[in-house]
Structures are given as structure tokens and as C-alpha cells.
Amino acid sequence: MLKRTALYNKHVAMGARMVEFGGWEMPVQYSSIMEEHHAVRNAAGLFDISHMGRFMIRGPQAEEFLQHVVSCDVAAIPLGQSNYGLICRPDGGIVDDVFIYHIPDEYLVVVNASNREQDWLWLQDHSNGYDVEIEDRSNRWGMLALQGPAAETLLVNAEDSEADDLGYLPFHGVALTRLFGHNVLIARTGYTGEDGFELFFDSEHSAAMWDALLELGAPGGIKPCGLGARDSLRFEPCLALYGHEISATINPYEARLGWVVKLNKGPFIGSETLTAIKAAGPERKLAGFELIGKGVARGDYPVHAPDGTPIGYVTTGMPAPTLGKPLGIALVRSDYSKEGSEFDIIIRDRPVRARVIKMPFYKPRYKK
């Protein structure tokens, strides 16, 4: 049985095409992926992301516990701010990438939908010896993402809203407010490369929040968006997707996420191995590429050196809607990851030449 969010009936009624994702039945698109993608780049789009995991960490040693299980420096996250981090294995592989929100008396940790169960067990298994309480609030809270350059203006001008001071909320800031008559925890975070907000609220208000947000900016309104646009939007600014650019067999330095690893904060799970990897340099590394020959690279396509030697594989590839050309990201041997290097993508048993280009492909437009 696939799991469904509280908005499943809304999605079906709106004509969304539903697909399986991480054990959930989710909308992949409503109109077209291209339309939804451009709506977020140029105005605003709304995503149901209630399938993601939401764990609360509290107690006298909440900070110490999180320092032990994530790669970022939790002690450096001020109250009312959030930060991106990685949960790593002892061998340096990535269990999951997470966002940690520092709110009064506790931390909110948001994890990927496909990893909810394994992350919950990982946190439980590594909490021994720490005076902490871990609560799974995933089913109790709904979660929506309003993303795009018009998001702030639309929320600030919404009727029955106390969110008129959102303009002062900094990038990665998080605050409690009221929106459409409901208490909402709102954060200036997202996964599209645009300014925008993620909203947390009691799940029973999901349908009312969804409808009220879609009506903002009438007559055109806000565009409902599915997983297809979410993927193309995160791909252009080269934001990692678990199971593609990061996984249990890929370490942060291979994934170009060394900036998330704070080795000077003290020991944490995987820190000893990661210290050694950083010192030696990773043998593989992610590389963004454009195709010189004709074709579209897709995830898992093999990558060969010009002499035919296998050197890696494509993690994500697609035509980039904003840039108007097929691009890709590949995990390749480090000596082929430098800008200007060339290799072949094996597309339907045929080598197609590609050239390494600068990442990200699209410069994020976060409000800072």
C-alpha cells in the first residue's frame, strides 16, 4: 500500500498525474513539467511536501546529540535559523541529507521521504547515552513549499495574515506566525534555487491552507507543482538528490559537499574517515557536463574516458528548461572532473561526447 498525504484527494480532483515516490503516491505534474518549472522561476509555485519526515529533538543534550550525528556545526545555528547538514555513516557514506531548524526549546529536523523510517531508526540507535527526546511529528504536521520570486509579496499581502514582516525574515530564517487564521511555522528555505518559504502546520488544516495559498495572486493564482518540476528546478542549481548525487556509497567530498562537513567542531559519526578522505582527496567527484554530441543523458548511463575506459556514471541528466539545453551531473574519476575535461556518455550503446562545465548551471536567487 502506498502512503498518501492529507492532500491526496485534492491532487486527484485537480487532475494531477500520480506516481510512486519513496513509498508515497504523489503528484508528478498537474499541467506540464515545463509550465510548472517556469512558473516557479518567474512567479510562484506551490508544492505538497508533506511526505517528508519531521522529527523534533529536545532535551538537555539535544545540541550535543545532533553534533554527534550530523556533519554541520549545530552549535553555530542561532535560535530562529536553520542549516543544511548530512547524517554520515562511520565509513563516510551518507545516510541522508537533512535541514535542521533551531526553534525555541527544540530542534526540527526535516528528512527525505524515502528515508523517513531508516533515519528514525538511525537517530534512535545513536541516542543512547544522551538525555534527549525524539518525537516523530511527520503525520501530525502538514508541509507545503511556496517557491518563486513572487512568494514573499504574495504572502505579505495575503488577507487574514500576520506574515506582513516576512520581508525581514533572513535566508534560512524560521519563525512562528499566523496565516489564514492558522498557526504556521514558516522558514525561508526550499529546494528550487529561488527565494521562497516552507510552511509547517497542523495536518488537519492542509486542505484549507492549500486552497488559500493557490488563490493568492488571483485571477491567475499560484501554480500547483509536482515532483517533475521539483526535480528539474533542483537540478539546474545542482542541488543534491538522495539516491542520485548522494547515497550510502557516496561521501560528502565526492559529492562536492565538503562545505557541510565541519571537522573542527569535534568528533561525530564518520568524522575520522572523512578527515582521512579530505587529506588524501576523493578518488571520484561529481562533475557537471554539457553534451557536445546529440542526445540526452539520463541517470545511471555509463561514463567512459575517450579511450573507452569506464570512469563513472550519470547521477542526473535532463534537458534544463531554463537554459534550453540538455545537461547532466556525473560521478566520475577525479582526474576527469575538472572544467573543460571531456568524456563519453554511453547513450543506447553509443558514445556521445560531453564536456565538463562549471556548476551550478543556474545561479540560485535566494534572498540574502
158-172, 217-231, 242-256: which has the minimum mean pLDDT?
158-172
How does strand 174-179 pair with strand 223-225? unpaired
Look up residue 261 and give its DSSP letter: -
Helix (H, G, I), strand (E, B) or coil at 115: helix
| Phi–psi pair at 43, nearest 5 degrees | -145, -95
**How crowded is residue 20: how many other Cβ atoms within 10 Å of its Cβ?**
10
For residue 263, the model assigns a pLDDT of 98
Structural domains present in the chain: 8-52+139-235 (3.30.1360.120), 53-135 (3.30.70.1400)
Tell me, what's the pLDDT at 186?
97
Asked whether 138 and 202 are in contact (CB, 8 A), the reply is: no
pLDDT tens for residues 247-285?
999 999 999 999 999 999 999 999 999 999 999 999 999
Return the pLDDT at 157. Answer: 85
Give, in degrees to the nearest 5, the angle at Cα 202 between 198 and 206: 70
* Overall average pLDDT of the 113-142 stretch: 97
At residue 364, what is the residue type? Answer: P
What pLDDT is attached to residue 116?
A: 96
- Whole-angstrom distance, CA of residue 153 vs CA of residue 37: 19
The closest of 143, 181, 144, 187 to 44, measured between CA atoms, is 144
pLDDT of residue 218: 73
Share of the chain above pLDDT 70, in %: 99
Q: Which three cell numbers stand for residue 57?
A: 529533538
Q: What is the pLDDT of residue 163?
A: 72
Answer whether residue 220 shows pLDDT above 90. Answer: no
Res. 221 pLDDT band, cuts 50 70 90: confident
DSSP state of 169: P
Q: What is the mean pLDDT of residues 325-333?
A: 98
pLDDT tens digits along 38-90? 999 999 999 999 999 999 999 999 999 999 999 999 999 999 999 999 999 99
Alpha helices in the chain (DSSP H): 8-13, 33-42, 62-69, 116-125, 151-156, 206-215, 227-235, 271-280
At 170, the pLDDT band (50, 70, 90 cuts) reads: very high
Which residue's entry shows cell 536567487? 365
Q: What is the pLDDT of residue 195?
A: 97
For residue 13, is pLDDT > 80?
yes
Could you tell me the pLDDT band of residue 319, with boundaries at 50, 70 and 90? very high
Q: How far apart are CA 272 and CA 277, in angstroms?
A: 9
Average of per-residue pLDDT values in the chain: 96
Residue 267 CB: number of other CB atoms within 10 A? 11
Highest mean pLDDT among 165-174, 213-222, 341-350: 341-350
How many Å apart are CA 199 and CA 284, to the nearest integer?
A: 37
